[in-house]
Amino acid sequence: MTLIERAWNLLRVDDPSPTLKHTPTTLAFIAAIIVTISVPGVQVTSLSAVYAAIWAVALSTGLGFLFTWVPNLRHLAIIVPCIDLLAIGALRTGTGGVSSLFASLIILPVVWIASQKGRQYIVIAAAGTSVALMMPFILGVSHFTEPADWLRGIISPIIFAIAAAIINEMSRQSRLQVSKVRALAEERDVMLKGAVDYTERLRENEQRLRDADQLTRSVLDAVTEQSVIGSDVTGLIDVWNPGAERMFGLGPLETQGKRYVHEFHLADELNERSKELNYPPGETVLNPGFSALVESARLGVPEVRQWTYLRDDGSSLTVEIAVTRRTDQNGKTGGYLFVATDVTQALEVSRLKDEFVGLISHELRTPLSSILGYLELMRDDEESPLSYEQVQYLGVAERNAHRLLRLVGDLLFTAQVGSSSFSLVASDIDVAPIVRASLESAKPVADAAGVSLSADMCEEAMLIHGDAVRLGQAVDNLISNAIKFTPRGGSVAVIVGELDGKAEITVTDTGMGIPEDELDKLFARFFRASTATRAAVPGVGLGLTITKAIIVAHEGELDVASIVGVGTSFIVRLPLAGAKASSTAS
């Protein structure tokens, strides 16, 4: 406890210190001494008793200070008023005994004693009063001359005891009230603290909400290439970002709360979609076609679909719109969000790509047709047959023309894969005959390359739903690759079996292998393994891209495992027709 705190404790009125309680007695005593000295009529009957009284009051005052200053000794403070009673008794004895002017001073320490907590202090107050009143007789300054003197020694303490009892009770009541007030004050403090905490939390939440709102606005404002439009459940626009402003040439002030989403759509498209969805619920005359627009999102499935946006000037643009549902804190649909990307340019690029593919197809294949056709005519000319050497030269020309044709075919197919424009002519087909055909066509090449070709085929029919021509192309690619990358004396093994409801075709060679860090790039267009380029194996890096695309189009998987210098395995897994049907049914 600091010095200032101790000084403050000295003066506290709500919990008065011994010094403060003692102050009235001290002041009254000083006044009594002054009166005794200065007033001529006041007689001093015993100077030693007066001195004793002064010393006693000085002692009690000192103790009052001590108990105030040392809180641990505060419980002994009751000694102070007790000494005061003795001091007043002595003063009374020294200033005329029973006729002393200062008997009434007794009330001051009595009040102190009686106000202490506990009934025993009533007895102490009464006893102390009795001693103080009877002191002139005890010390022999006064003598019992009349029966009333005895009565004074009994009645006065009784009166003081009654007064002490009343004070004690009032003090108790007062303490109870103070205690209640304090409890209430504490409760109030707790509530106040709670309120302050709550206010602080509220303020923090408000700040967080403001930050989140600001973040949302920033994100919306940052999206300038897409239009982000929000609406309530009826389609009335309530969010309109700068992307939408740019797309439509309208600001948020012109649209938010004023326009409906369907107004920016081609009505025929919305009607058509409504018809397709059998006129979903929730549509009103205010928002024709809107329910069709949001039907999927309303059911909780975000939808991305191509639509036509209409500007106010009548122009239109093709957009891809992602429609999502907005939900409130209870999970109920509060509206929808429409994030649209202008795909006009993308469609144009796609169209140009298709045109390019068509051009390549026509302009490269047509001269190749002429080359191959006329080479064949030369070879087949029975009227003027070619020499052996000329036939050899013709063979080289034909082989290279076919190579060029394959390359054109691969490029064309790769372009079709890229633009997702290739399709399968699918039916239920047996895997084994396809692999067998590929093996047969690869046999002469393997023999020429000095590579042994072996097969382990499953005897039972394994039906898959697929395109036999495309699958044959994929298997051809894998087997011809395996032969191409295997040095003379090596082997290529093809295993066909069934595993976990899938047809599995494994093509394993003992070739040069592929470095591990290149395996994940193996199916990228025009990628060639470093081992292949180092060994100068011819190719452009499209075969595996095409193979993978074909397998994926069949909902299959193509895996590869390889060790450089040891060999490579390609594993094709294709869902069996029965398994596929049952998985679809389930």
Partner 1 sequence: MTSTLRVVIADDDPDIRGLVAIAVRKAGFDLVGQAADGPSAWSAVSEAHPDLVVLDVSMPGMTGLEVATLIRADESFAGTRIALLSAGVGESAIQAGVDAGADHYLTKPFSPRDLATQLQEIMA
* Alpha carbons 134 and 352: distance in angstroms, whole number: 128
* Residue 525 Cβ vs partner 1, minimum distance, rounded to whole Å: 19
CB of 429 to partner 1, least distance (A): 17
What is the rounded CA–CA span in Å between residue 568 and residue 537? 16
Nearer to partner 1, 227 or 414 (CB): 414
Residue number, 165 or 371, with CB nearest to partner 1: 371
| Burial bucket for residue 309 (CB in 10 Å: 0-12, 13-18, 19+) | buried
Could you tell me if 58 and 49 are in contact, meaning their C-beta atoms sit under 8 angstroms apart? no
Minimum Å gap between C-beta 364 and partner 1 is 8
Minimum Å gap between C-beta 362 and partner 1 is 4
The dihedral formed by the CA atoms of 256, 259, 262 and 263, expressed in degrees to the nearest 10:
-130
Nearest to 167 by CA among 129, 125, 132: 125
Element (H, E) at 446: helix 431-449
Judged by CB, which is closer to partner 1: 214, or 421?
421
Identify which of residues 33 and 412 has a Cβ nearer to partner 1 in the complex.
412
- Taking each continuous run of H as one helix and of E as one strand, the counts in the chain are 18, 12
- What is the DSSP pairing of strand 463-466 with strand 427-430? antiparallel
Q: Residue 509: count other Cβ atoms within 10 Å of its Cβ.
A: 28
Q: How far is the CB of 572 from partner 1 (least distance, A)?
A: 23
Give the Cα-Cα-Cα angle 396, 401, 407 (nearest 5 degrees).
130
Instruction: Return left, alpha or beta for 555; rule: phi > 0 is left, psi -120 to 50 is alpha, else beta.
Output: left
Residue 394 Cβ, how far from partner 1 at the closest point, in Å? 14
Count CB-CB contacts under 10 A for residue 382.
5
Closer by beta carbon to partner 1, 386 or else 571:
386
CB of 370 to partner 1, least distance (A): 4
Q: Closest separation between CB of residue 352 and partner 1, Å? A: 17
Distance in Å, CB of 403 to partner 1, minimum: 13
DSSP string for residues in 111-163:
HHHHTSSSTHHHHHHHHHHHHHHHHHHHTTSS---SHHHHHHHHHHHHHHHHH
Tokens 């002017």 locate to 101
Q: Which is nearer to partner 1, 220 or 426 (CB)?
A: 426
Shorter beta-carbon distance to partner 1: residue 306 or 370 = 370
Q: What is the DSSP string of 34-99?
A: HHHHH-TT---S-HHHHHHHHHHHHHHHHHHHHHHH-GGGGGGTTHHHHHHHHHHHHHHHHTTGGG
DSSP-derived secondary structure for 354-398:
HHHHHHHHHHHHHHHHHHHHHHHHHHH-SSSPPPHHHHHHHHHHH
Interface contacts to partner 1, rule CB under 8 A:
358, 361-362, 365-370, 372-374, 376-377, 380, 405, 412, 416, 421-423, 425
DSSP state at residue 503: E
Min. distance of Cβ 415 from partner 1 in angstroms? 11
Q: Please identify, using beta-carbon distances, which residue of 252 and 409 lies nearer to partner 1.
A: 409
Nearest approach, Cβ of residue 372 and partner 1 (Å): 5
How many Cβ atoms sit within 10 Å of the Cβ of residue 149? 15
Between 189 and 376, name the residue whose CB sits nearer to partner 1. Answer: 376
Residue closer to partner 1 by CB (options 4, 425) is 425
In the bound state with partner 1, the residue whose beta carbon lies nearer, of 379 and 528, is 379
